[in-house]
């Protein structure tokens, strides 16, 4: 019996389920074949984030027979997740996503070893969780975590696949350190907080995350079976708008002045922390202070948050209330999240509404 680690895992592998009968329709494909299927069975894939994209990707990987699938997510299942996050049901509300996902995945394919970690991926644990993966899949909801994944992958030469979806569109790009551009060739630095749309602000069509996840997993299969070819240090960013049925491909080239793969800076992995998280004494609140100086354009953030709840604006700060959530947002990036003493919950709300 193959041991699993973490907060939850699938049932013990059954060697009988490893028979090629299970994967015969897949191994018939010349793109995969019998040898390719064996490679998939022997692979280890890490998924960071188990929202709509991550849960769809996990479903594909387990059904395809990836030997080991590692799940990392800090959040609990919420009612609004069920519109698009396919591994969860109403019975899973308020349970850790990683644990709920591992349980259902174990029932889908007991031959796959599933590790579930209810953790926030950060500088203190990123190498522990990511090193040893054959491929890492992006299911995250913020750029800071993507920059951190990129640093680890560039340092340790681990292939990973960037993916994102919001509104009716999404994008995906494979990153093979040393062969293709890295993520910071595409986005050199963090944009100002509140400048990027998030699902909580812009909404999301429930078909687009699954569509992007299917492309992400297909790229993973190409890499794992040795079929992926990087040409002339170029990668292709694929953008899809499901509502308008448009499909675009943009060539991205390696940059000699890239802070990460060009100049060797691992700014996010080498940082002491992404931010300072403080529980405010005597108050049911958490304060998050960014590690690097920044300025939030409060006027623009006010416009983006107004459709979602009550917003009060002053020249110095913005207060936003939606249901039980209350955030006091300052121009320097500092945010006070009221109504919780849970650091992980506060960090999740910060990413949801501020977008980093």
Print the SS3 string covering 168-223: CEEEEEEECECCECCHHHHCCCCCCCCCCCCHHHHCECCCHHHHHHHHHHHHHHHH
Alpha-carbon distance 316 to 234, whole Å? 44
Q: Residue 186 pLDDT > 90, yes or no? A: yes
pLDDT at residue 255 in the model:
93
Mean pLDDT across the chain: 87
Q: Residue 281 pLDDT > 80, yes or no? A: no
Q: What angle do CA 274, 84, 117 make, to 5 degrees?
A: 45
Q: Taken in order 76, 81, 84, 89, is the CA torsion positive or negative? A: positive
pTM, rounded to two decimals: 0.78
Alpha-carbon distance 151 to 76, whole Å? 27
Within 10 Å of residue 184's Cβ, how many Cβ atoms? 24
pLDDT at residue 76 in the model:
81
The CATH number, out of the four listed (3.40.309.10, 1.10.10.10, 3.40.630.30, 3.40.50.720), of the domain defined by the range 8-253? 3.40.50.720
Q: Which helix (H) or strand (E) holds 338?
A: strand 335-338
Higher pLDDT, residue 180 or 122 = 180
Q: Tens digit of pLDDT for each residue in 200-244?
A: 778 899 999 999 999 999 999 999 999 998 767 789 999 999 999
In three-state secondary structure terms, 139 is coil
Higher pLDDT, residue 121 or 294 = 121
SS3 content of the chain, % helix, strand, coil (to 5): 35, 25, 40
Measure CA of the first residue to CA of the last residue in the chain; give whole Å: 41
Q: What is the DSSP letter of 341?
A: -
pLDDT at residue 199 in the model:
76
Reported as half-sphere exposure (CB side, CA atoms, 13 A), residue 163 has a value of 31
Q: Where are the domains of the chain?
A: 8-253, 275-354
Assigned fold of 275-354: TATA-Binding Protein (3.30.310)
Alpha-carbon distance 173 to 146, whole Å? 12
| Lowest-confidence segment of 5-19, 122-136, 301-315 by average pLDDT | 5-19
């Amino acid at each position: 019996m193959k041991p699993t680690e973490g907060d939850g895992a699938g049932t013990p592998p059954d060697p009988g389920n490893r028979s090629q009968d299970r994967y015969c329709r897949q191994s018939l494909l010349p793109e995969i074949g019998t040898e390719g299927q064996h490679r998939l069975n022997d692979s280890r894939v890490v998924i960071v984030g188990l929202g709509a994209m991550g849960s769809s990707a996990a479903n594909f990987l387990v059904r395809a027979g990836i030997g080991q699938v590692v799940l990392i997510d800090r959040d609990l299942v919420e009612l609004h997740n069920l519109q698009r996050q396919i591994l969860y049901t109403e019975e899973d509300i308020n349970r850790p996503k990683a644990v709920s996902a591992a349980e259902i995945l174990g029932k889908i394919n007991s031959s796959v070893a599933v590790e579930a970690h209810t953790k926030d991926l950060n500088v203190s644990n990123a190498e522990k969780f990511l090193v040893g993966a054959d491929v890492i899949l992006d299911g995250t909801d913020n750029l800071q975590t993507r920059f951190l994944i990129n640093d680890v992958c560039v340092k340790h030469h681990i292939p990973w696949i960037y993916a994102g979806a919001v509104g009716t569109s999404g994008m995906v790009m494979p990153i093979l350190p040393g062969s293709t551009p890295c993520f910071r060739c595409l986005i050199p630095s963090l944009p100002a907080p509140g400048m990027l749309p998030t699902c909580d602000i812009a909404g999301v069509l429930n078909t687009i995350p699954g569509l992007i996840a299917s492309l992400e997993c297909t790229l993973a299969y190409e890499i794992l079976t040795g079929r992926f070819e990087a040409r002339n240090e170029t990668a292709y960013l694929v953008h899809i708008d499901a509502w308008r049925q448009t499909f675009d491909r943009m060539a991205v080239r390696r940059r000699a002045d890239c802070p990460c793969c060009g100049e060797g800076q691992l700014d996010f992995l080498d940082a002491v922390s992404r931010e300072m998280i403080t529980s405010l004494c005597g108050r049911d609140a958490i304060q998050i202070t960014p590690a690097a100086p920044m300025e939030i354009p409060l006027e623009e953030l006010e416009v983006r948050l107004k459709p979602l709840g009550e917003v009060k604006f002053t020249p110095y700060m913005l207060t936003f209330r939606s249901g039980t959530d209350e955030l006091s947002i300052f121009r320097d990036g500092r945010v006070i999240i009221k109504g919780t003493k849970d650091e992980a919950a506060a960090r999740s709300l910060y990413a949801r509404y501020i977008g980093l």
